[in-house]
Amino acid sequence: MPKPPRIILQGVTYHCFSRCHGRRNLFHSSFVKKYFTEAILMCQEKYDFELIAAEPVGNHIHLIIKTLENRETISSIMQYIKARIAEKYNRSTGETGSFWNERFGSTIIEHSDNPENYLLWLLWYIGFNPVRKRLSRDPRENYTGFINVYLQKDYETAVKITLHDFFLKLGETFEDCVKKFLWYEEAYRKRFAVYF
């Protein structure tokens, strides 16, 4: 059965995810994680979009991307990132097969019942994904460190992360936003206490 056509809109926030072919844990490798970072940086130089979060997790990746009006579509951005990762991997290993399992999945955050709550919860979900998989002990120690951008003012990561408007609406100051954002972490930890 064919998959339904993707909804392509501009000026909205997408949660995108994609798995490695055969669900292989290719992102356990430090050099494949490096390809992930390099591909995003190349895409950020080529296209205009806001990267809200990014994390490789074993056999898949998560990206939260906000497209901009009259700029590149989510399909163009994701296809570019995925193609660069696959090219770099195949060139370094001499492999010729597929790197990715299928087309990427995506959800438009603004189409949820409560977009603000959904995004803030999703940031912690992605941050804790490597923790649940026993790949890190804390979201603050994850490969990209994107969650630290939401916790420490002027924190620098390997890729440019843009604070989402929903985060910035949490308070009048950055510190106020962080305090409320940490409530989502506490709620997440309580809900999934079995993992910690």
**Using an 8 Å Cβ cutoff, are 23 and 101 in contact?**
yes
Q: Place 158 in a pLDDT band, splitting at 50, 70 and 90.
A: confident
- The angle subtended at Cα 21 by Cα 20 and Cα 24, nearest 5°, is 65
Model confidence pLDDT, tens digit, residues 15-30: 999 998 988 888 888 8
Would residue 7 count as lying in a domain?
no
Residue 50: CB partners within 8 Å, gap ≥ 6?
65, 66, 68, 162, 164
pLDDT digits (tens, 9 = 90+) for 44-59: 999 999 999 999 998 9
Residue of 64, 67, 60 lying closest to 82 (CA atoms) = 60
> Residue 89 and residue 83: Cα distance in Å, rounded?
10
Task: Provide the pLDDT for residue 106.
Answer: 94
Q: Which domain holds residue 18?
A: 13-191
Residue 127 domain flag: yes
Cβ-based neighbour number of residue 88 at 10 Å = 19
Closest Cα to residue 132, out of 53, 54, 189? 189
* Mean pLDDT for the chain overall: 91
| All residues at 6 or more sequence positions from 7 whose CB lies less than 8 Å from its CB, including other chains | 108, 111
Q: Which two tokens stand for residue 114?
A: 């409560």
Number of domains in the chain: 1
Task: Report pLDDT digits (tens) over 123-152.
Answer: 999 999 998 888 888 999 988 889 999 999
User: What is the per-residue DSSP string for 105-126?
Assistant: EEEEGGGSSSHHHHHHHHHHHH
Residue 114 included in any domain? yes
In this prediction the pTM is: 0.92
Q: Is the pLDDT of residue 84 over 70?
A: yes
Kindly report the CATH number assigned to the domain that includes residue 176.
3.30.70.1290
pLDDT of residue 3: 64
- C-alpha to C-alpha distance for 51 and 37, rounded to whole angstroms: 12
Nearest to 51 by CA among 27, 69, 77, 33: 77
The two three-digit tokens of residue 104, written as one number:
């990427």
pLDDT of residue 131: 87
Element (H, E) at 92: helix 74-93
Asked if residue 8 is part of any domain, the answer here is: no
At residue 40, does pLDDT exceed 60?
yes
